[in-house]
Chain A
Amino acid sequence: MTAMPPIGVTLIGGFLGAGKTTLVNHILRHDPRRRIGVLVNDFGAINIDADLIASRDGDAIRLTNGCLCCGIGDSLSRALIDMLAQPIRPDHLLIEASGVAEPWRIAELICAAPEFAPPMTLVVVDGSRIQTQLADRYIGDLALSQIESADLLILNKMDLVPAQGDLIAWMRETWLGKRFAISEHGAIDPELLSADHNPSRFRAVRAPAPAAADRFVGLRFVTDVPFDAGRLHAAMAAMPPWILRLKGIVTLAGEVAPQSLQFTPGRWSMTTLHDRAAPAGSRIVAIGHRDRADASALDRLLTDALQTADLQTSR
């Protein structure tokens, strides 16, 4: 549709108060190289620092770099379409997602428009509150979903965390392989946004462009029913060959502490995560070869490993 290079996109997720706006301001100020446009989808006013604003036009702000900063309002689709219709096209778009957004949903939307490059999902976490949030009975599942969908996790407000080392170790161990950056007041290196990244394979979504990316599929398995340890062992031994990687946090029947499950072909491990405030239930993600993938077979395999092999599954 267009000969121009695709617009890079960074999704910035995380709860209200995590420091997303501060981070956006920091990036605008410290990345003079790119023309950055901004879409804001959080509750409340668009809080861009005054010296970064050239003019205001109704609800939109014209930034000193020539790009627009607008609110998303009730429709991200409409905001994206309007953004693409602007005379000055940004090189890069920052989307500050609503605090309740599940960033993978927005990532899918971006992937649906060829003008945009596959987005990178950056989730900002308030280091001083994250463990409380994960244990919260109402928002614990949302906090977990946000962290899981992050390509890069920003541990912010670390100046407020007394035992920084413990928190970082816990996060790294709980989300093995996740990229982390530590920050105070949203100060991160803007280069982190352009560094080569693996767009999230969560939910098997990406743009049609890079041929390699289309060879893989990501699947997700979530359940509230505990696994039976013996059956889960059997399931790991019977993993079909198209699965390249599988990992997750699982709860076993009769065990209080959750387990970290890791699988690569021919090899798997399960380690007890002692003293973890991880929410109840199990969440497993798998990556596999798209052409051979059989999602329902994997679903059956894992469902059969549950303590009560009944309904409670979803992918």
Chain B
Amino acid sequence: MNPKTETIILRARRIVTMDPANPVATHAAIRDGRILSVGDLDRVRRYGDAPVDERFADKVLMPGLVEGHCHVMEGGVWAYPYVGYYDRVDPAGKTWPGLRDIGGVIERLRAAERGLPPGKPLLAWGFDPIFLGARRMNAADLDAVSPDRPILVMHASFHVLNVNSGLMARAGIGPDTQVHGVLRDAAGQPTGELQEMAAKFMALRVAGTEFWRAATMPGALDRFAASAVRAGVTTVTDLYNELPDETVDAYRTATADPAFPVRLVPAYNPSGLAPEQAVQRLAELRTHNTERLRFGLVKLMTDGSIQGFTARLKWPHYFNGRPNGLWNLTPDMLYSYLSAFHRAGFQVHTHANGDEASEVTLEALERVLAEAPRFGHRHTIQHCQMADAAQFRKMAELGVCANLFSNHIYYWGDAHYTETMGPDRAEAMDAVGTALAAGVAAAIHSDAPITPLAPLFTAWCAMERRTASGRVLGANNRISRQQALAAITLGAAYTLKLDHDIGSIQTGKQADFAVLEDDPTDDSLPLKEVRVAGTIIGGRYHSAPATG
């Protein structure tokens, strides 16, 4: 590196450094894409005089936010119109107002339909019937958009979809179809709502397989990155990907461009290979690492999702009596993969939603750590939504981190209270307060595109624990503003083993900032209302598109 590289001084209204030894500043000197000095103007000038960038003089800077659990699919879904219940902002900054009735959904689909060439299927996503009252959307509703062109509307859960008559005719779905998951009306006619894998398969093979490919389609990575900029995020994960060569090439090409505004941390899905070969594959991938693209995480799946009733719960199981969920890996397979990656020195992230899944994960971790003790492994349980104090204490003992799904409290908290977990366990879910008190290193996440990519909103969820209906779910598990901000910066960086490089504003670290209009430490302003102007990554500014 050229030692004479230019130094630039950023002046801000306030810099919230997240470094407890030097918490607040007004100036940061940057050289070679890294932080040289943080403090007031006098201090940062001691390295020599340098031009002062005044663009942020009225902004508040904090460390670039870290989203420890999201998916590139966040960039994929925005190739299609959004028809969900909640307002959602797309990567270009356009607000898609939430649709409060079926009429609104139809109207938006009509507008989208007009722009499509004849015969091309119309796909849309994000529909959520939970909030639309008793009547469910049916094929006749969608036929009002077009009876002939195949129309497919994916629900917010990605588990259920609605189709029109044109699509059903092509797929051969009729009164005689005996396939599980095809919903029927009182007269036995399919309603166009398809609920299970088999029924969805009938529709997807007619509509084309585009939803599967959405994450690797052209533009998806750029939209994903743009979503991150909008949210003040400079480091994103892609937390479960088989990482075939074409994906790896696309990631390498994108991140090699200095104009690409995020650092990307994929987590490898090893299930296509036997443990030893999978370890080898990840070791190879790691040789491609740069400061903008880091391979090395592996992710294992245990159970499914709580709202889908596929998570594995301990006694007393599901509140409404549904049978227990399913395993994606049996406990002994989990152990085999965990053991192989642990022994090879990798960091393992394990998806576990239900408390039986987190228990099985902890048993496997305990066994592996007894057989092959290792310092600083930072193995992490992802979601970890139902872990109780005892499990958190065990995690602290074993040095295991938790990345909790705080957005669930807002989006599904009411359903957890009344249907899935019941009051006691719903109030104890995503217990960031309990985790921190037990000494567990914790982060919080959105799982975008499952919920919107917006760490400041996620932090608000962990602070307030308020559901969409306004119920406070477990007030005693609320965390402080400082703890919430730590969870979306250093906390998340720690679970990615990147806390030495990102997550706070300190000499030597990457010059990654979230550029904010408002001060996140201002107690009078809810964190979800803090406005994001853009991000700075490696010293380079990326302005968020104006939200409109």
Q: Which residues of A contact B (CB under 8 A)?
A: 1, 15-16, 43-45, 59, 71, 73-78, 80-81, 99-100, 102, 105, 108-109, 111-114, 138-139, 141-142, 203-208, 214, 222, 224, 310-314
Contact = CB atoms under 8 A, between A and B. Distances in A.
A109 B201 contact: yes
B205 A77 contact: yes
A16 B330 contact: yes
A246 B60 CA distance: 69
Contacts of B178: 111, 204-208, 214
A110 to B, nearest CB: 8
A204 B180 contact: yes
A314 B176 contact: no
Nearest to A81: B205
Interface in B131-185: 172, 176-181
In this complex, the member of A44, A73, A99, A205 whose beta carbon has the largest number of chain B beta carbons within 10 angstroms is: A44
A138 B331 contact: yes
Interface stretch (B75-83, B96-104, B321-329, B401-409): B321-329
A45 B277 contact: yes
In this complex, the member of B201, B320, B324 whose beta carbon has the largest number of chain A beta carbons within 10 angstroms is: B201
Contacts of B324: 141
Interface stretch (B18-26, B268-276, B535-543): B268-276
A1 B172 contact: yes
Contacts of B176: 208, 214
A48 to B, nearest CB: 14
Provide the main secondary structure of the chain A interface: loop
A264 to B, nearest CB: 24
B196 A108 contact: yes
B360 interface: yes
Contacts of B329: 43, 100
Contact of B201 (A77, A99, A203, A208): A77
A242 B542 CA distance: 68
B202 A112 contact: yes
B322 A314 contact: yes
Contact of A224 (B209, B317, B320, B356): B317
B204 interface: yes
Nearest to B209: A78
B177 A99 contact: no
21 contacts: A15-B330, A43-B272, A43-B274, A43-B329, A43-B333, A74-B242, A77-B197, A77-B205, A81-B209, A108-B196, A112-B202, A138-B330, A138-B331, A139-B327, A141-B323, A203-B180, A205-B178, A206-B178, A208-B178, A311-B320, A314-B322
A142 B205 contact: no
B323 A222 contact: yes
B180 A205 contact: yes
B180 A312 contact: no
Contacts of A16: 330, 332-333
Contacts of B327: 100, 138-139, 142
Contacts of B61: none
Contact of B271 (A43, A113, A204, A313): A43
Contacts of B330: 15-16, 99-100, 138-139, 142
A73 B323 contact: no
Nearest to B322: A314
Given A81-B209, A311-B321, A114 B172 contact: yes
Contacts of B177: 208
B47 interface: no
A100 B328 CA distance: 6
A141 B277 CA distance: 31
Contacts of A205: 178-180, 198
Nearest to B172: A114
A249 to B, nearest CB: 15
A73 B270 CA distance: 11
A73 B179 contact: no
Q: Which 7 A-B pairs have the closest CB atoms?
A: A44-B274, A108-B198, A311-B321, A312-B321, A77-B201, A112-B198, A109-B198
A141 B325 CA distance: 10
B484 interface: no
A93 to B, nearest CB: 15
Given A44-B273, A73-B242, A111 B179 contact: yes
Given A81-B205, A100-B329, 10 more contacts: A1-B172, A15-B330, A16-B330, A77-B204, A102-B326, A109-B198, A111-B198, A112-B198, A205-B180, A314-B322
A112 B333 contact: no
B197 A108 contact: yes
A52 B103 CA distance: 58
Contacts of A208: 176-178
A203 B180 CA distance: 8
A108 B181 contact: yes
In this complex, the member of A45, A138, A222 whose beta carbon has the largest number of chain B beta carbons within 10 angstroms is: A138
A99 B277 contact: no
B274 A45 contact: yes
A120 B441 CA distance: 49
Contact of A45 (B205, B273, B331, B360): B273
Nearest to B177: A208
Contacts of B179: 108, 111-112, 205
Interface string B178-200: 11110000000000000011111
Nearest to B201: A77
Nearest to A312: B321
B205 A71 contact: no
A294 B332 CA distance: 41
A48 B53 CA distance: 63
Contacts of A207: 178
A197 B172 CA distance: 26
A72 to B, nearest CB: 9
Contact of B197 (A71, A105, A206, A222): A105
In this complex, the member of A75, A108, A206, A313 whose beta carbon has the largest number of chain B beta carbons within 10 angstroms is: A108
A77 B360 CA distance: 30
Interface string B115-137: 00000000000000000000000
Contacts of A112: 179, 198-199, 201-202
A152 B501 CA distance: 57
Interface string B331-363: 111000100000000000000000010001000
Interface string B214-237: 000000000000000000000000
A129 B179 CA distance: 34
A124 B177 CA distance: 30
Contacts of B242: 73-74
A211 to B, nearest CB: 10
B340 to A, nearest CB: 11
Interface in B295-335: 312, 317, 320-324, 326-333
A214 B178 CA distance: 8
Contacts of B196: 105, 108
A58 to B, nearest CB: 9
A139 B440 CA distance: 29
Given A43-B274, A204-B178, A100 B322 contact: no
Contacts of A73: 242, 272
A311 B179 CA distance: 27
A45 B271 CA distance: 9
